[in-house]
Amino acid sequence: MGQFECFRGRHFSVYEQGMNASMRMKWRDIAPWVVAPEYDSSSYIVEEGCGTGGLLLRLGIRFATTPVIGRDISSHFAQTSAEAVSGLANTAVIQENILKPRFASGSVGTKIFSSVWHELYSYNGYREDVLDMVLEQTYRELIPGGRIIIRDGVKPKNQHVAMWLSPKSYGNLPSAREMFMRFVRDFQAVRPVPYGHLQTNDYQLFAVLGSENAYEFLMKKDYLENWEGEIKEVFGVWTPQEFEQRLISHGFRPLCIKPFRNRWIVEHRLKPVTKLYRFGKKGELITIPFPYTNILVVGEKSK
């Protein structure tokens, strides 16, 4: 992964706003699973890809008797995180590629990957073996009973879906239909996006495509200012079942495999401009819920 490759074409201020806006939800999801300092106060809590430092700050305050380490490949975010936690004696930030082995075997209580798992995949040649290497390395670094926590996107079950897209534009913003065509064009650099059109008797127009590409479009369509960066990423790397299987294959005991929908995204970004359908046995369109937007994954090393 190049030193700044994953941040080329992005506006840092917009990227940071997105990180900070979701921080309360991330903390609510992640905090209960962190190995408490009462269990082993000498082991590290590590956040890989610490970004703006919002989560790192909360970890440092909540677990004040535990050493907390954040790592980020970006000098900008490493500096931002370091400034955020500068008042905490137990918290430090290291700027380096998070694939680099850093921690001794049996020295980490909890290792956290928040919105980073898909970047490890996307900026290392879309290779699953890189993620396997990270799982293996993390298992080795954890103390007995230590945990890996992943909060990220989630790949849906593979099926053909029909997607209605609003043709209406709002102000100077492109319509959902226009953004879909842009997605089809630009995501081709990552993988093919085969699709077709379906027109019903009431002249409604639908795009027909695989659910995995539909998910990628729905999760990306509003990243207008950072489009050039986000379009290079695959948000949904594994399904819930694949996450569970991967944890088990690397020795972890799955404690939590919880896909969920971000209600704000569904209500404000999806429902107003798009609808999703599957095909019935006779080819009829059947309304289906929007895909899960995220997943929380927790694995534990055997005690």
Name which of 113-122, 133-142, 167-176, 211-220 the model is least confident about: 167-176
Q: How many residues does the chain have?
A: 303
What local confidence, expressed as pLDDT, does residue 286 receive?
Answer: 97
- Candidate from 157-171, 231-245, 247-261 with smallest mean pLDDT: 157-171
pLDDT, average across residues 70-96: 97
Q: Is residue 117 scored above 60 in pLDDT? A: yes
The Cα–Cα gap between 138 and 124 comes to: 18
Band (14; pLDDT cuts 50, 70, 90): very low
- First vs last C-alpha separation in the chain: 34
Tell me the per-residue pLDDT of 195-250, one tens digit each, with 9 for 90 and over. Answer: 999 988 777 889 999 999 999 999 999 999 999 999 999 999 999 999 999 999 99
The answer to whether residues 221 and 179 touch, using CB atoms and an 8 Å cutoff, is: yes
Task: Answer yes or no: are the C-beta atoms of 26 and 152 closer than 8 Å.
Answer: no
Q: How far is CA 89 from CA 77, 92, 224, 242, 276, in A?
A: 19, 8, 39, 39, 50
Alpha carbon separation from 263 to 29, 164, 181, 267, 269 (Å, rounded): 14, 20, 26, 6, 10
CA 268 to CA 263: how far, in whole Å? 8
Which residues are 279's β-sheet partners?
285
Question: Percentage of the chain surpassing pLDDT 90?
Answer: 86
Per-residue pLDDT at 110 exceeds 70: yes
Helix (H, G, I), strand (E, B) or coil at 149: strand
Residue 2 or 269, more confident:
269
pLDDT digits (tens, 9 = 90+) for 169-192: 988 899 999 999 999 999 999 999
Per-residue pLDDT for 87 more than 90? yes
DSSP conformation class of 173: B
Mean pLDDT of the chain: 92
pLDDT of residue 5: 45
Transcribe 187-247 into DSSP letters.
HTTTS---EEEEE-TT--EEEEEEHHHHHHHHHHTT--TTHHHHTT--S--S-HHHHHHHH
- How far apart, in Å, are the Cα atoms of 161 and each of 278, 281, 290, 297? 5, 13, 11, 26
Q: What pLDDT is recorded for position 19? A: 53
Residue 146 dihedral angles phi and psi, to the nearest 5°? -70, 165
In whole angstroms, give the CA distance from residue 222 to residue 72.
25
Helix (H) / strand (E) containing 112: strand 108-114
pTM: 0.92
In the predicted structure, residue 92 carries a pLDDT above the cut 70: yes
Give the model's pLDDT for residue 164. Answer: 97
In this model, does residue 41 exceed pLDDT 70?
no
Nearest to 214 by CA among 236, 243, 238: 236
- Tell whether the model's pLDDT for residue 29 goes beyond 80: yes
Listed by start position, the domains of the chain span 5-152, 160-233+262-291
| Fold topology of 5-152 | Rossmann fold (3.40.50)
